[in-house]
Amino acid sequence: MVKKLFCLSFVFFVFGLFVNSYIYSQNITEYPIPAISISIDDAIDKENAPFKIQVKGTASNINNLYVYLVVVDNGVEWIQPKLSWVTSTDVTKRFEGYCYLGEINNPASLNKMYKIFAIVTDRKYKEYKHPDKRTIRANSKEIELFRVS
């Protein structure tokens, strides 16, 4: 009886090794995690920001994904107009674009705080739509700007 149990446990052990080695030999593709960062010109006064802000950034591991700049206005996120891709390698891409803080001639857009950041998502959005948080794969740090005039 003991020999049968030993033989049976040995067979299961060998079978487990076989299954384990088979799974690892299948060259399972790993999807790298996207990363994104942004910056604005140091000359921009964050306490007295203009209406139009140029933003530059880098994104990596974004194959088959979309990158957008986002402005937060009164707690609502708005996708900004199209980005321009500056350079590209297989892994890292440099981009630039503009964020608009409110509306240019609207007094309600003045004297308030805005936040800007970038996102990587698997969904295509039209400008000035709201991103769905469930589709965001990565986002950059936020930059806070106060628009006075």
| The dihedral sign for the CA sequence 38, 43, 47, 51 | negative
Do 85 and 93 form a contact (C-beta atoms < 8 A)? yes
Q: What are phi and psi of 6, to 5 degrees?
A: -65, -45
* In a domain? residue 56: yes
Instruction: Provide the token pair at 14.
Output: 């060998």
* In a domain? residue 88: yes
Does the pLDDT of residue 84 top 70, yes or no?
A: yes
Write out the H or E segment, with its range, that includes residue 24: helix 2-24
* In a domain? residue 14: no
Does the pLDDT of residue 6 top 70, yes or no?
A: no
* In a domain? residue 40: yes
Q: What is the dihedral of CA 122, 125, 130, 133, to 10 degrees?
A: 0
This prediction's pTM:
0.75
State how far the Cα of 3 lies from the Cα of 9, in Å rounded to an integer. 10
* In a domain? residue 55: yes
Residue 124: domain span? 35-147
**Between residues 28 and 109, the one the model is more confident about:** 109
pLDDT of residue 56: 94
Q: What are phi and psi of 103, to 5 degrees?
A: -110, 145
pLDDT of residue 26: 55
- What CATH number corresponds to the domain at position 79? 2.20.130
Do 146 and 112 form a contact (C-beta atoms < 8 A)? yes
Which tens digits make up the pLDDT trace of 98-112?
A: 999 999 889 999 999
Report the domain count for the chain.
Answer: 1
Reported as a pLDDT band with limits 50, 70 and 90, residue 91 is: confident
pLDDT of residue 75: 94
* In a domain? residue 10: no
* In a domain? residue 16: no
State how far the Cα of 55 lies from the Cα of 71, in Å rounded to an integer. 11
State how far the Cα of 37 lies from the Cα of 39, in Å rounded to an integer. 7
* In a domain? residue 27: no
